[in-house]
Every structure is written in C-alpha cells, then in structure tokens.
Structure 1
Amino acid sequence: MFESWCNKMETQKDLEIFKGNTFVIKYGGSIMKNKFSQKAFFEDILALRLAGVNIVIVHGGGPEISKWLKKVGIVSNFINGLRVTDKEIMEIVEMVLSGKINKDISSCLNTTGIKAIGISGSDDNLITVKKKYLNINDQLVDIGFVGEVQSINKDLIINLLNMHCVPVISPIGCDTEGSKYNINADYVASYISSALRAEKLIILTDVQGIYKDINDKSTIINYIVANEIKNYINLGIISDGMIPKIECCIDALEKGTEKVYLIDGRKEHSLVNNIFSNCGTTISLKGEMKNDKK
C-alpha cells in the first residue's frame, strides 16, 4: 500500500521543503503502458500534493495514437520525429489525446485521492499555436496539422492551481482561426513551465537520462549545464530524437524554469526518488547544482 511505502521512506516529511513550489511534469505515452509504473506515478503525485506542491501534468500519447490509427487502417509517417498529420489523422489524434488519455489520467488521479481536471490546450485559448513547417535542406516541408506554440494562457492554469486542482493538459492547440493542431508534448511542457516560472520541469521518459555512451549505462551524465549541450550534440553524444527534447529543456531554462530533470518514468516511484537521489540527468542554466533541495 502507498501509506506503508510513504511511511517507510519518510517521504511526506521530506517533501514538505517543496511546499508552494510548482512542478510541471511531462508524462510520456511510452510509460503509460507499464501499469505498475503508472500506479506508482499517481501515488507520487499524491505525495507531492499532500506536501503542498503545485503540480501541472502535460501528457503525450504517441503509442496510443499509433494503435488507434492502425485499428482504423490509417498509415502515418514521421519526419524528424514529428507525425505527419492530415485532417483525418488530426481527428484521431484529438479523440485519443483529449477524449481518452486525458480523461483516463484525470480519472486515475481522482481515484487516488487527487483533485484533478483534464483539459485540452484548445480550452479557453490555453495553447495558441501557428502551423509548424520543417526546414529540410533549406526547403520548408509541410507536415500538416502540427503546431508550434505561440502563447500560453497561464491565468487558466493558475486559477486551477488556486483551486487546489492538478491540471492535466492534452497537447492540442488552436490557431487564431480556430483550427486545431497536434503539438509535441515536450514543447508544451517547456512553454507551460516557462510561463509559470516553475521550480522544476520534470520529463519522464523511457531512458534514465543522457549518456556519454548509450550502450554503457554507467556513463550517465547526472549534471549538465545548458551551454555544454551544444558540444554534446556536435560530438554525437546527444543525437536523433533526444535533440529536440533537450532543446526544449534549454528553452525552458532560458525563459524562467529553475531546473530541468530527465528521469526514467518506467521505474516505480522514480518521480519522488529522483527528487532526493538525482538518479537521472539534471540540467541547469549555469553552474552545477548537485544539491537538489531548496
């Protein structure tokens, strides 16, 4: 039971040093497939809320979207890690993200004892976007209804936090004409974290963090300064799909987030454990920050 785990770890007492802080958490679609990790995640959120931490959750859902597209016989392609999204695919994306995953997460949080409200980025202009184009070999490539964040209605989120709710946000946004777009959830979490000037942006992924050698788990980089990251990209240490994830982490830091954490969400209670053990990768704007407590 969660209560016995919490007492054993003295988690509640330790977490109270973060009372009043705001944590923005990106909850990845790949982690949702692990029921044990999912249950532990909800318990960790409860521990943080009981300690007085303000929590905002931004979720993804790529694997679930792919599953439903396959069910209806639609083939989707990716360019530079982004799903090419035509009008038909966009309808499925919105149904899966806002209609299914968002409400499933909210329901599970409520069942765990957390007051949570699931919303879409299209609600009350929460996320305003413009159409995103990819620049490939100096050519603009149209990838359909994929959006680039322009602004965040932080007042809506703050109002929900003041009501002691956990906002659970689906990464769907609208442009000024009301068209809806799919958005990379990492970027949404980054922008929301910046808008709220959050103390922590925590990205739960399916890897432990950044490695100097991806094939050698002992080479994990526990602490990295933002201006070192370009060197790691140039050296090929950070590559492929990790590059945009890291770039939005840097963007969050430069726009007001205090610290960013990449942690392995597949490990049970990784969210709370990482706060005290720094078991993933911590990114700061400048200078090593090896003491994660206030």
Structure 2
Amino acid sequence: MKRDWVATARTLSEALPFLQRYDDKVVVIKFGGHAMGDDAAMEVFARDVALMKQCGLHPVIVHGGGPQIAQMLAKLGVESEFVDGLRVTDKATVEVVEMVLAGAINKRIVSAINGQGGRAVGLSGKDANLMVCEKLSRTKRDPDSNIEKVLDLGFVGEPREVNPGVLDTFLKSDLIPVIAPVGVGRNGETYNVNADTAAGAIAGALKAERLLLLTDVEGVKDAEGDVLTDLSPEQCKRLIEDGVIRGGMIPKVRTALDAVEAGVAAAVILDGRAPHACLLELFTNHGAGTLLRR
C-alpha cells in the first residue's frame, strides 16, 4: 500500500515541469463522442477539467451533441434531410438544435464539472456575440452536366468573427466556460456550427496554448495504421493529398491546421475514450494522440 502512495507522489513530482509550462495558459477542449454519452466517462472528464483549473490552467470547453440532436428530432417527429452527409438545418430543426445543445447537453456538462468541485458556467456562441456566423456555403458538381450547384444547408453557420471579450472575464476568475456551438448571424439568425470548427475558431481568437480535439479514434494514422504522434502542416497536407488522411479525419485535421495558423501554439487530435486523455497529453511525456504545430 505504501508503495502505491510513493508512486502517486512520484507522478505528482514528475508533473511539475508540465504544470509550470501551462501555468496561466488557455487550453480549449472540444468535448464529444463516446465520452459525452457515458456517465462514468463524463465524471472522469469533469474531474480532469476541475483539476486543470485548480493547477493554474484556463480550460475552455466547447461541446458537440449530434446523436442527442438526432434523438430529440426523432422524438418530436421532425424529419431530417442530409446532403453529402451534412444535416440540412431548417427553422424547425435549428430551434431543436439550440434547445438540445445550449440546454440539456450544456447544463449536463456544467453540472458534472461543478459536481467535481469546479465552477463551470454554460453559454453559447450567441452570448455577447461570442461567435458571429455567416451561412455555410457548399457546392457540389453535377456528374451529368459537370456544373457546380450551390447546396442550401439552411441554418448551418461558419464563424466569421469571434469576440472573446466575454471569455476573458471568465479566464481572469475561477470560472470555467462551457460553450455550446450555436452562433448568431449578423441579422440575429441562429446558426448550427460544427463543434470542431467552433472550438478551432475560439482557440484561434484566444491564441490558446493548446487546442485538444477529443474524438473516438486514437489519432491520425499512417498508411500502416500506426498513430502519428507529431505532424507539421506540410506533412498533413501531403497525407491528405496521398489519401492517407481521409473521410471524417480530414475536417478535423484542417480545423487543427487553421487553429495553428490563427495563433494556437499546437493542436492535438486525441482519443477521448482513453481515461484521463487530456491529463496524459498535457502533464506527461507520453502524450495521447497526434500533435500538429507550426
């Protein structure tokens, strides 16, 4: 038993250089996937976030909620249409999206962090015009005519301005902001924003030390299926061109690259299913995913 306590003390001692490195630094965490739907995983995540704040970091949480939105739409009998894998968000749908993201999910995460001794406060991209959006524009080439057609995705938004002043107020206190990825249009419209995209935009505006994108895979993998622990922008672009990075990993990598380009020191794509993934990444030499930096 004494040996276990000595091991714990050694672990704390070895974490000192990392605690010093991240003291008073901002870390933006995109929370989603398996960890958000599992009560035990949620509790572990909430405890880790409370610990980060206690150790002098400033965690900013941005969360998703796709599965929960789909469940609520089905329960309310609101049918969804998809175009190239993207949900068309009409007026009825965006009202449900806001209700689920800024309501039930946001408050569940806030309550979990508060339950672990943190002081979390929930808000959305609409609060204090934190995230001003424009309608996301996408095109698709018609295979028969070879003409590009504009896809109307409804109230799906793309961040154009991020005004982090409201977050500065939290970061100067012991409060932990938990942000739902719902943005506001220039004419007051409500926009549904991809959570990865929102987290990247907010991290860039805050010039965060780290952007952590929690997902349900171990990280970016090479052609043999091994996790790549460290990548430069040039390597990422080459892997995308070669088809090694493909599918749903492409937008995550591009979000990470955009954040780094905007001033984030480094972005990490890591496995949110692994216990204490954020602590492993920040406070140990081991790391827990794929780090992208300038």
1:188 aligns with 2:195: no
SS at match of 1:169: strand
Q: Which deviates the most, 76-85 or 5-14? A: 5-14
Offset of 1:247 from its aligned partner?
Answer: 0.8
Partner of residue 175 from structure 2, selected from 157, 161, 165: 165
Alignment of 1:24-35 (within 5 A): 24-35=28-39
TM-score w.r.t. the length of structure 2 is 0.90
Larger Rg: 2
Give the residue type in structure 2 aligned to 1:58.
V
Cα 1:52/1:38, change in 2 over 3 Å: same
Offset of 1:266 from its aligned partner?
Answer: 0.8
> How many angstroms apart in 2 are the aligned matches of 1:188 and 1:61?
13
TM-score w.r.t. the length of structure 1 is 0.90
Cα 1:68/1:6, change in 2 over 3 Å: farther
Q: Is the 8 A contact 2:28 2:210 kept in 1?
A: yes
> How many angstroms apart in 1 are the aligned matches of 2:10 and 2:80?
47
Partner of residue 222 from structure 2, selected from 203, 212, 222: 212
Q: Is the 8 A contact 2:35 2:272 kept in 1?
A: yes
> How many angstroms apart in 2 are the aligned matches of 1:73 and 1:112?
36
Offset of 1:14 from its aligned partner?
Answer: 5.4
Offset of 1:31 from its aligned partner?
Answer: 2.4
Offset of 1:9 from its aligned partner?
Answer: 3.5
> How many angstroms apart in 1 are the aligned matches of 2:8 and 2:81?
44
Partner of 1:46 in structure 2? 50
What is the aligned length? 279
Q: In structure 2, list runs of 5 or more residues that go unmatched.
A: 142-147
Alignment of 1:1-294 (within 5 A): 9-10=11-12, 13=16, 15-17=18-20, 18-137=22-141, 138-213=148-223, 217=225, 219-275=226-282, 276=284, 277-285=286-294
Offset of 1:279 from its aligned partner?
Answer: 2.5
Q: Is the 8 A contact 1:223 1:282 kept in 2?
A: yes
> How many angstroms apart in 1 are the aligned matches of 2:292 and 2:273?
20
Offset of 1:7 from its aligned partner?
Answer: 5.3
Q: Which deviates the most, 90-99 or 78-87? A: 78-87
> How many angstroms apart in 2 are the aligned matches of 1:145 and 1:30?
26
Offset of 1:30 from its aligned partner?
Answer: 3.6
